[in-house]
Structure 1
Amino acid sequence: MVTMRQVKLVLFILFAAGMIGASLWYAFDTASRADLNDYVGDEVWYVPASRNMLHRLGLEAHYVHNGYEGVNVIFSNDDEKAEYEHVVDEAIIMYEGNMSATVNYQKFPGIYVEIPREKLDDFMGYLQNNIPENAYYTVTGFRYPDKDNIQNYLNLEHPLLGKDFIMLSMLILGDKPFYWRVPGLILYGFLQILVLLTAYRITKSYLASLIALFFVAVDPTLQATAVTAMLDIYVGVFVALFTFLLTYGWRNWSGFGIGLAGATKLSGAFGYPVLFLRLLADAKEKAGWRKAIRMVVILILLGLTVVAYSEYLADYWDAKYFQILAILTVLAVAEFTYSSREALEPLLAFLTAGLSLPLLGFLLPEIPAIKVVGFNDWLRNFLGSFKWHLSYKGPNPWTAPFWEWFYNGNSFHFHFNPDIVADTNPTLLLFMVVAIFAVPYVWKRRNLILVPFGIFWSTVGFFALQYALGGKTQFSFYATALVPEAAVTMGVVVYEIVNWDAFRESLLDYLYWIGRGLRIRRFVEYVEEKRKKSEEAERAEEPGLIPAIPLPPTVYVEHRGLPKKVSLARGRRERKSRPGGLPKKYVTDESSQTTNESRVS
């Protein structure tokens, strides 16, 4: 027998699948348009960097169009190009290349050609036989954008995880514009599922989950970054993953997740303070405040030691800073081990989830870049990128400081005609300001609301800090990192503060009418039973008459003066004459009168 609970679950799945499916259909349809079969927005940086990384790893991506395969012939300098360019032209004619597709780059020494696939090896052999080995090299795949030094660009100022997905797609699917965007489109769907499950975990409500899902399914910032091979859609996905893991209480996986979020862009790690506070609360519960504070000191010393050692390897700091911090760290750990041996397990859990796993999550995606340029050079580039992130990049018409994201002040345009614009959603972001006044109420009912709410404002705070320290070149698509946790908060808070009785009654009316009209007896019975239970509950809650307080029975007893109430429970008190003294004399009226007369006479 099918129950209404199962019907609700099916309807929930259908609504969720419909919203996710509709948003993905729109995104896939946009990303695959023929008039977007080229670089869009910042794809001019991230995609060539991915192609160059593959080439330096000894792997080649392939672009095939109408039977022709794309090849970029890169010369070592302009002089070499001027000397051997005619060899390339001869080879194109000789092997029947697509002359109309040839691109002679102006800002770096290279030529893009398309050669019939079956003749590609012969073309490569001809170049090898007629051009010195150290004068050129070839990179198969889509043509490069005509940018200065783009053939050597690796985009090491940003972490590698987002470009890892682009490289993987190039190898598996091919080096085409639509294929660059496929991983981001797939993960956009995954992001929506994570938001749905996170909201459900907090509220156990289908309605709250669908509200949260709606705001990520229609969010213009997510849609714009999903249809382009940008890094920011990966930031949003892994921030959503971190929020999901922390909400479900998986501390170690949360630490690894924040590392992955930071490995897409550093802004992905801006929610780390929330993880830190959760770990601190766990440590305080297991070991007490004093030991928890000492654990924090050890974590800070250990983190500073890692930073100092990294700066030393990158030739930015002297070894003395690392040595001093290392000694202090060893002393702090030794003291804690000696005096608080029983708290070693909480300390290990605190350091594992708070430092080790975030570092592991950050470093694993960087392995290809480390292999290409070497660990020290990669580290030098990474540490040097902080100065770049905190610098002003010059005037830009699309600059939008972080506060403008809340009202969509200046949207970043990735492409015109068709327009792909990274608009923000003021309804969602301004609601997070209003939610500040509602969260204390919601927190008493759904304490996990502090996770997405805290991640949102922690991220905003770090963007504000970046701006204050000099990184004033901010754009609207940076707000991608704010959308998942804002949507979860929106779903939970709206569900808790809105009175849904009117909606429930209306839905029951519709269900009843459908049941009567289509002769679905189960619907009618469900509505009638639901309303009967509601009436019984209301009747039970009605206040009754105040019962009279039972009093002990009372009687009146004869006594001089006014009658006096005496409780039967106390019993009747008998008067007894006091012993001693003269007997009391009682005189009648006559004797009193005679006595008085005799006294007068």
Structure 2
Amino acid sequence: MKYAVALLVVLAVYAYLAYSVASLGGVDGLPDGPGYISDEVWYVTSARNILHDFFKTPASSPYYTTTWPCVSNATVVKTYKEIDAVTVVGNVTCYVRRGFPYPDKEGILTYYNLEHPPLAKYVIALMEVVRDEPIFWRAPSVALGAGTLLLVYLTARRLTGRLWALVTTTLMLFDSTFRAMAGIAMLDIYLAFFTALLTYFYVAGRDLATGAALGLAVSVKYSGAFPIFGLAYLYAKKSLWKFVAVVLMATSVFLLVNMPMAAQLGLQRWLHEVLAAFAWHTTSRPEGPIASTPLDWLIMRNSFALYLNPNIYAGGTPAYLLALIYAIYKRDDVSVLYISTYGGYWIVYALGNRTLYSFYTVHFSPIAHILLAQLLASVAKPWRTVS
């Protein structure tokens, strides 16, 4: 009972921290009002565009982004420099998009973010149907962050017992990247949740569920596939047919999630976009935010600035390095999954993408903290034996 109460306290503290980020004002939304945080400018808007163009459903909002000839008895609330449009509230005779005012970015009204699969954008779009406002976009991130903590606890409890599971779940609150990404409508907290789910199912011996979780992770970002290297190694020692089943399940889930996109774009263009995405992910971006290498992530260098005043950085935690050292030493199943997931970013880096960012670390943060529980348990075991 005491562990359940303590876990609830941890989740309550987490909820406060995540909501503190989710309630920040943001920029480039309403003039002198709420707006977008960091790369929400790409994901929230592409979700709104997918909602309108692919699912033929407008967002729930009093705002319309339209052109001047369509403005009737309406009040202009935002004008743009980079796009030929205005955002109004009131009556319009026609409109390009309904929803929260767009950021002032060229091409934003037709941007679908096809560099990444659509699952997280579906969820954000669903929230835009409920209400297209910042706190609604970010609510799923807050919920998935809580789910990630719970999965870390449940997986670590299975491996080490309740005490160290609770300790390491608490320590995850000190991961500045996790705290920040759990309050922002970006893709990476979704990726963290499904990777934690994959780890939980694998440790529980549920092969098809592991494959489904892998497929869901890949349906958020293609980097969600990085655990496949570790899974291939682990299942090679168990059963080739189980690995085939995992891959087939993951592929089926990925294709199912992408069916609306393929139906709307056409199969040929969809396949072209998937291949183009792989090329995009192995190519460096233009100069912009501070980039970092996977080595930087281990020593918390070159952190990505997510918000200024208050200053919020994806600074990480020493757990990443400790977990890697322990994983190399231990080489058990969770260690292999961690090395595989972290190592996937080195592969991308080696293939030519030098503009990686520190907020990517939230992807493997759950596995790192599960390993941290194992490390703490192994260190404490001799002392408990002596006492």
TM-score by length of 2: 0.93
- 2:220 corresponding residue in structure 1: 264
- 1:142 corresponding residue in structure 2: 100
Query: What is the SS of the residue equivalent to 1:47?
Result: helix
- Alignment partners' CA distance in 1, 2:26 and 2:343: 39
The answer to whether residue 368 in structure 2 is matched with residue 486 in structure 1 is yes
Q: What does residue range 193-592 of structure 1 map to in structure 2 within 5 Å?
A: 193-203=150-160, 205-283=161-239, 347=241, 349-353=242-246, 355-425=247-317, 427-436=318-327, 438-439=329-330, 450-499=332-381, 501=383
- Alignment partners' CA distance in 2, 1:238 and 1:149: 31
Once the two structures are superposed, residues 74-132 of structure 1 have per-residue CA deviations (whole angstroms, 9 ceiling, x without a partner) of 5xxxxxxxxxx2x445x2xxx3x444x2x2222122110011xxxxxxx23xx25xxxx
- Alignment partners' CA distance in 1, 2:158 and 2:170: 17
Q: What does residue range 33-48 of structure 1 map to in structure 2 within 5 Å?
A: 33-34=24-25, 37-48=34-45
- 1:530 corresponding residue in structure 2: none
- Which of these residues, 152, 174, 180, is aligned with residue 110 of structure 2? 152
Once the two structures are superposed, residues 25-49 of structure 1 have per-residue CA deviations (whole angstroms, 9 ceiling, x without a partner) of 2211331244672111000101110
- 1:545 corresponding residue in structure 2: none
- 1:161 corresponding residue in structure 2: 119
**CA-CA distance at 1:215 after TM superposition:** 2.5
- 2:31 corresponding residue in structure 1: none
The amino acid of 2:356's aligned partner reads Q
The amino acid of 1:24's aligned partner reads A
**CA-CA distance at 1:460 after TM superposition:** 2.1
- 1:17 corresponding residue in structure 2: 8
Is the CA contact (8 Å cut-off) linking 1:181 and 1:227 kept in structure 2?
yes
Once the two structures are superposed, residues 357-402 of structure 1 have per-residue CA deviations (whole angstroms, 9 ceiling, x without a partner) of 0101212222332233122211110111111111111333410111
- Alignment partners' CA distance in 2, 1:106 and 1:476: 31
**CA-CA distance at 1:452 after TM superposition:** 2.3
Structure showing greater relative contact order (alpha-carbon pairs closer than 8 Å, 6 or more residues apart): 2
The amino acid of 2:100's aligned partner reads F
CA RMSD of aligned residues (A): 2.0
- Alignment partners' CA distance in 2, 1:140 and 1:396: 30
Query: What is the SS of the residue equivalent to 1:414?
Result: strand
Moved more, 415-424 or 244-253: 415-424
Moved more, 388-397 or 466-475: 388-397
Which aligned runs of 4 or more in structure 1 are off by greater than 6 angstroms?
Answer: 502-505
Relative distance call for 1:470 and 1:277 in structure 2 (3 A) is same
- Alignment partners' CA distance in 2, 1:59 and 1:437: 50
- Alignment partners' CA distance in 1, 2:47 and 2:324: 38
Is the CA contact (8 Å cut-off) linking 1:23 and 1:218 kept in structure 2?
no
- 1:560 corresponding residue in structure 2: none
Once the two structures are superposed, residues 529-563 of structure 1 have per-residue CA deviations (whole angstroms, 9 ceiling, x without a partner) of xxxxxxxxxxxxxxxxxxxxxxxxxxxxxxxxxxx
The amino acid of 1:268's aligned partner reads G
The amino acid of 2:148's aligned partner reads L
Is the CA contact (8 Å cut-off) linking 1:72 and 1:140 kept in structure 2?
yes
- 1:596 corresponding residue in structure 2: none
Relative distance call for 1:16 and 1:432 in structure 2 (3 A) is same
- Alignment partners' CA distance in 2, 1:421 and 1:501: 37
Among the aligned pairs, what percent are the same residue? 29
- 1:58 corresponding residue in structure 2: 56
Query: What is the SS of the residue equivalent to 1:498?
Result: helix
**CA-CA distance at 1:429 after TM superposition:** 1.3
Once the two structures are superposed, residues 163-216 of structure 1 have per-residue CA deviations (whole angstroms, 9 ceiling, x without a partner) of 1111111112x100111100011010000010000001112x111111221132
- Alignment partners' CA distance in 1, 2:357 and 2:371: 23
- Alignment partners' CA distance in 1, 2:84 and 2:245: 49
Gapped regions of structure 1 (runs ≥ 5): 1-9, 64-68, 75-84, 116-122, 129-136, 284-291, 293-346, 441-449, 506-601
The amino acid of 2:178's aligned partner reads L
**CA-CA distance at 1:420 after TM superposition:** 2.4
Query: What is the SS of the residue equivalent to 1:282?
Result: coil
- 1:72 corresponding residue in structure 2: 65
TM-score by length of 1: 0.61
Relative distance call for 1:504 and 1:160 in structure 2 (3 A) is farther
Relative distance call for 1:411 and 1:109 in structure 2 (3 A) is same
**CA-CA distance at 1:437 after TM superposition:** 6.2
Once the two structures are superposed, residues 228-249 of structure 1 have per-residue CA deviations (whole angstroms, 9 ceiling, x without a partner) of 1110111111110000000000
- Alignment partners' CA distance in 1, 2:25 and 2:344: 39
The answer to whether residue 1 in structure 2 is matched with residue 110 in structure 1 is no
Aligned length: 380
